Amino acid sequence: MDFRHLGNSGLVISEIAYGNWITHGSQVEEDTATSCVRAALDAGVTTFDTADVYAQGRAEEVLGRALKGERRDGLEIFSKVFWPMGEGRNDKGLSRKHIIRGAEDSLRRLGTDYLDLYQAHRFDYTTPLEETMRAFEDLVRQGKALYIGVSEWRAEEIERALKIADEMGFDRIVSSQPQYNMLWRVIESEVVPLSEREGIGQIVWSPIAGGILTGKYRPGQELPAGSRAADPKSEKFLADKVSDQALLERVQRLEPLAAEAGLTLSQLAVAWVLQNPNVSAAIIGASRPEQVESNVKAAGVKLDTGLMARIDEVLGDSIERDPALTRSPENIRG
């Protein structure tokens, strides 16, 4: 395993992080989830990412139990707050009430007394940003969160938060958690340049595009049994991609490029995001330990510029680059 600093902070994290969105507490049984966490630990992964909303808290509970007994100082545990966690008016968003309560609940479910990184899961247009930033600052001062990050925020939203932090003497945002992969590059034109200037590192999710970049979805063929796209709980996230025959054909043409590099297609996809120097870590998920064992082999891989250019040629106009596609709900309280 290779390690990188989280942005310009002093926190060092594994460049492969293990995340449990969709899988823990819902798609896979707890013993399998625990086996996946053990496989990640055995491979040298020290960074684990979750969120309160994943399986409505169950994912945090499963991860907490899986990590029980591990030396806490040897781990980096990340969580997030924003999405509804109940029916109440204040059970969502980035108000002080929801952030503070959310942090306390996440700590309880994870079985830890602090989070290494606490992240705003989306931007909240209904709460003053000063209130949000002060609530996160209070958690840092209390030692309940060591660093603060955001997820799926636009460049201008990150910039506003940085300005408030500087004016009010708060700790600055050190990380951004966006979707990023060979096909989805919407952060490259605005978020990444800002982050490079301001010392913010990317912790990217979906490096294999929800499984599309594994090559298992083949044009003209039925969805593989047991795949995410065939699961009613998660197929909505992939429906547009698995129905795009031109995209699936292009992905198949990446397989020879991966073979040339001595990688599987999944490993190539994870290694690809790690070539971006602004990326601090790539989050991988898994429903089986073997998936973890395979994908962690992308750590430390260097891809030459010629191969990177050929990947772009193959994918062509299947690559999405529009920064406006990063969106948060306009009215989380509506």
Which residues participate in catalysis according to the annotation? 54
Close Cβ partners of 67 (under 8 Å, ≥ 6 residues apart): 37, 48, 75, 77, 110, 111
- Using CA atoms in the order 325, 328, 329, 333, what is the torsion angle rounded to 10 degrees? 180
How are the residues of the chain apportioned to helix, strand and coil, as percentages rounded to the nearest 5? 45, 15, 40
143 in the Ramachandran plot: left (φ > 0), alpha (ψ -120 to 50) or beta? left
CB atoms < 10 A from the CB of 275, how many?
Answer: 14
How far is the CA of 319 from the CAs of 185, 213, 281, 284, in angstroms? 7, 12, 21, 21
Q: What does DSSP assign to residue 76?
A: E
Token couple for 33: 């989830």
